[in-house]
Each structure stands twice: as C-alpha cells, then as structure tokens.
Structure 1
Amino acid sequence: MKIAFSPCPNDTFVFHAWVHGLIAGAPELDVQYADIDITNRLAASGQGPEVLKISYAALPWVLSDYALLPCGGALGRGCGPLVLTRSSITDTRDPSVLAGRRIAVPSDRSTAYMLFRLWAAQNVPGGVGEIVVMPFHEIMPAVRDGLIDAGLVIHEARFTYPAYGLTLLADMGNWWEADTGLPIPLGAIIAHRSMDLDALTKWTRASVDYAWAHPEASQHYILQHAQEMDADVAKQHIQLYVNHFTANLGEEGYDAITSLLGRAANEGLVPAFDFAKLRA
C-alpha cells in the first residue's frame, strides 16, 4: 500500500512500526517521504497514494476523495508556527513591520499559512506583500540571508531559529489558543474513501501505541530521515507534536478542526465544503 508522509520526527515516530512490518495484519507500506506542500498537492491532484499526511488546511480540497482518519496526525498546544524576521527589520514584536513585505511560507494550503492569514487580517494594516512558497527547511536561511523579509516556519524551526540569528515576531499558536481556547490542527492523516477505513484506523493507532511502548526502537529510523537535526531536537519535536490527539482526535480535536476551517471558509481562504465529511 502506498503512503506519503514527511521525514519529520513526529511522522517517522508514528509510522515506524508499520513501515517496519511490526503491526500484525497490516499491509506492507511503500513510503514516499515528502514535504507537506507536496503531499497537499498530491492529495488534491486525485493521483495521490492511498494514505497521506497533509495539512488540515488542505482538507476542503480533498474530502470528496479522501476521508480523515481519527488518529496518526498532529494537533497540539504550544506548537504553533512562528513568524521570524531578521533583527535588522525589527527588534520589537510590532506586526505592522510586515506591511508590504515578502513573506516565505512552507505551503499556501498549510495550517501554518491559514493561521498566518487569519492573524495578519487582524494585525497587519494594509496587509502583507508577496507570498513566496518554499520548502520549510529553506526558509530560515533565506530570511537570514535577506532573500526574504520574513518567514513562517514550522516543525523543529521553533527550537533552532536562534542559531540563524533570527527574531521571533509572532507565535501563531499562542494567538490561536488565546483567541479560541482550542489546540491547533496541524497535520491530518487521510485515506482514500475506497479503502477499509476501520482497518486503516486500527493499524495506524497500533503503530502509535507501539511507538509509545518502544520509543527507543524508532530512533535510528527517525534520525536517518530527520533534516538538520540532532537527537535532542528530534526528541523535543516528538514530545511537542505526538500526544493524545495522535491516538484519538476526540471531540476537542474535531472542534478545533471545525473552528479553524469554519473561520477560513468565512474569510474565503478555502472553498465551501460539507463539514459532515470530516467525520464520514
């Protein structure tokens, strides 16, 4: 069975057991490791693999073909995307400095981008300037080198950005949580509606459970695929993004997803879709 997910530690931690044939009855996986922007577009193309990890923000484009699995993904608190600048632009946290600026983002269909657009609508008078999509691991060097005025970063960048001499302008997670009281829906596991969704949910949850029961087993696999990351940062990454929502979205998880996509729909950031399909 074909599957696509990122090489980031939370995904390799979650799927290690299944990828290595440790889940009884689960089919062998043919894995494509890909950045979130690639998996978002694979799903939207209609030519993607049977199972993918995509951004929750991309769900409205794919729910006719793919179903959301209630496990395996990433929601959480204190793990939001960050807006970073060079200190030469600002040594304060005044969002108005972004007016008319070139901003790099990891995807224009990511939760990070959706949160940024919702935040900027409230906080950047006149709006930002050009949006440039680039792989997330290229964003901080581009900001550091002055190729981009500011960057919206995800994943382990929240731990490593000081090494690039960058300044934190705003934390999208802090803003979202203060505004809604809900966790941030980041990455979703989806499966083609032609598949046995109950079985896929069972195997995914079993892989999560194995990862928690045997955390040392996946370390080599995680570090093999991690980008510019040492073992301590990889561990922090997993602790931040793998939590009880990974095992089961629950009502709070579904509330967070509905709130985010509902606001985005009201702002015209996503196409209209049937919210009932989030659970079916």
Structure 2
Amino acid sequence: MKLKLAYSPCPNDTFAFHAMVHGMVDTEGLEFETVLADVEQLNTGAAAGKFEICKLSYHAFFQLSDSYVMLRSGSALGYHNGPLLVTTENSQLNKLRGEELAKALADAKVVIPGRMTTGALLLKVAFPMIKNTTPVIFSEIEKLVLDGSFDAGVLIHEARFTYKEKGLSLITDLGEHWQKISGLPVPLGGIAVTRRLDPDTARKVNRVLRRSIEFAMHNPSASQEYVTCNAQEMDPQVQKQHIELFVNDFSIDIGVEGERAAVALFRILTQVSPEINFRDDLFIL
C-alpha cells in the first residue's frame, strides 16, 4: 500500500522520517510518496484532504480532528521548547511590562507563522489583546521584524537558537507561559493520519514511525546529509540542538502526560474559539 506522507523540512522531521522513507527499517509493506512543505502549507493541505499521513500543528489538528487522528509516535512536545515572541533590540516593547506591555501589543503589528500553527494559538492565549496579526512562512519572520515591517513576531523551529545573534530580543517565551498556566508540556505538532484509514493500517503506520525514530536516535549520523540538505539553518550545531530539543521520549510515545497536555490545549482552544467542538478520541488506540 502506498500512502501520501507530508512533513516539514525542519531537522526534527527529516531526522525522524529519514529511516522509514529510505528503506532503512521494516515498513511492513507500506510505501510512501513524500511531500515536504512549510508547517502552514501542511496544515492547509491536510484541511483540503491532500495527505493520508501529515505533520500537523496541534492547533490545526484540533480543528481537523473530525478528519484526522493523531499517532502516538512522532509528536514534537516537551518543556522549554515553545514559540517565542520577539522584537528588535531597540524596540520600545523591551522596556514595558504588565499592563503597559499589553496595551502596546494591542496596537502592534505582529507577524506569525500561520493562523493554524500552535504558535498562533499560544500567542492568543498569552496576549488575547493582539488582533493585528499577519501569517507568513516561518523562515521570513526574523527578517520582517528586523526590517521594521512588523513590531514583533512569533518564532518557531530553528529561529529560537539564532534570533539573538541576528539582533532580536525576547518579549515572552510563549511555551513557558503555557507551562506556567497549565503545568504541562507544550504540544507543538504531531503526526496525524486520515480517519479514512482502517485502524489496523493506522497502527501499522505508528509502528513504522516509532521504528524510524528509534533507529534515528540510535544512529544519529545516518540522517545527517538528509537533514542538512533540507534545513533552513545550515550550522550543524544548530541542527543538532534542534533535534535534541524536539525529538525526545514524547516522540517515541505521547504517553499519559502528553495526552493530558493535548487535551488541555484543545479545551483552551474551544474557549477562545467557541465554534470549534471538542472531541476526546484524539489518538489512535
């Protein structure tokens, strides 16, 4: 059986999928037609029903959970790895705190990595007064804040390791804010399969993906060329940091704590967007 598999070119994804798409682990008869795309392109592509297997922001997944179910393996989830709200080093926003910061942000132009990204949701949770947001491809955000096109921006992926050296400063770590109010890890993204797949095939995909991640963890150099040729940030040390931060025990299996985090963030989404209906069968059995 051939399945259309879509994921991002970010190091954690290429690291995790390398073995299964290059025939280095047992795929149990499954074959994959791969598509690599920006996270928001993945979110919107899944919304259009283009992929059988797809990396999704949890924010997008919650909105698409009638059509997709999340695998237990493959999630980017953890502590101290959430999106960052940044501005330029000389911005007046750096001098403000509390109500003064909130008031200034209410009037600010903020660039985000897509409306369906978890970064966009965590921004809304932390700063509900921000209304003027513009979605762009995540790799453009640093440049757009630096050149003054926007007052602030939400950084994801490799940018969290490089923003300071590029002249940006942190307003708020949105992941740390989530951890403070919830006591739970940040559910950033995961690997979902269409609910059109029969349960046995979905479980097979999960086994293959887990096998691929475990292979990558035990053989980290095997995927290095594949990771590098797809990464936005070419510094091998940044790639290594990225992988170590986003590929962890939660990636092997979401576990009870990870499920609790996903459910908690989904409930928050239904509070800020009441038109979205909650459902609790989020993960394959």
Correspondences of 1:38-117 after superposition (within 5 Å): 38-46=41-49, 48-90=50-92, 91-92=94-95, 94=97, 95-96=101-102, 97-117=104-124
Are the equivalent residues in 1 in contact too, given 2:12–2:242 (CA < 8 A)? yes
Quote the residue 2:247 is aligned against.
242
Quote the residue 1:155 is aligned against.
157
Q: Does 1:197 align with 2:199?
A: no
**Which sections of structure 1, spanning at least 5 residues, go unmatched?**
122-126
Q: Does 1:216 align with 2:216?
A: no
Output the amino acid matched with 1:38. Q
Quote the residue 1:120 is aligned against.
127
**Alignment equivalent of 1:275, drawn from 259, 264, 280:** 280
Are the equivalent residues in 2 in contact too, given 1:26–1:203 (CA < 8 A)? no
Q: Does 1:266 align with 2:268?
A: no
Quote the residue 1:124 is aligned against.
none
Quote the residue 2:38 is aligned against.
35
Count of residues in Structure 1 that have an aligned counterpart in Structure 2: 274
**After the TM superposition, which of the residue ranges 194-203 and 3-12 deviates more from structure 2?**
194-203
State the shift of 1:174 in Å: 1.1
State the shift of 1:163 in Å: 2.4
What does the per-residue CA deviation read over 1:169-225, in whole Å, with 9 as the maximum and x for residues that have no partner? 000111111111100000110011232111011101000110011101000100010
Measured at CA, do residues 256 and 215 of structure 1 come closer, stay the same or move farther in structure 2, by a change above 3 Å?
Answer: same
State the shift of 1:19 in Å: 1.2
Quote the residue 2:5 is aligned against.
3
**Which sections of structure 2, spanning at least 5 residues, go unmatched?**
none
Output the amino acid matched with 1:224. C
Output the amino acid matched with 2:122. L
State the shift of 1:270 in Å: 6.2
Output the amino acid matched with 1:31. T
Output the amino acid matched with 1:92. K
The percentage of aligned residue pairs carrying the same residue is 37
CA distance in 2: counterparts of 1:186 and 1:210, whole angstroms: 23
- Secondary structure of 1:29's counterpart equals strand
TM-score with structure 2 setting the length: 0.92
State the shift of 1:26 in Å: 4.6
- Secondary structure of 2:81's counterpart equals coil
**After the TM superposition, which of the residue ranges 192-201 and 70-79 deviates more from structure 2?**
192-201
**Alignment equivalent of 1:227, drawn from 204, 207, 232:** 232
TM-score with structure 1 setting the length: 0.94
Quote the residue 1:177 is aligned against.
179
**After the TM superposition, which of the residue ranges 58-67 and 140-149 deviates more from structure 2?**
58-67
Correspondences of 1:131-150 after superposition (within 5 Å): 131-150=133-152
CA distance in 1: counterparts of 2:169 and 2:81, whole angstroms: 17
Output the amino acid matched with 1:188. G
State the shift of 1:110 in Å: 1.1
CA distance in 2: counterparts of 1:147 and 1:163, whole angstroms: 19
RMSD value, Cα? 1.5
Output the amino acid matched with 2:57. S
**After the TM superposition, which of the residue ranges 185-194 and 138-147 deviates more from structure 2?**
185-194
**Alignment equivalent of 1:12, drawn from 11, 14, 27:** 14
CA distance in 1: counterparts of 2:282 and 2:170, whole angstroms: 37
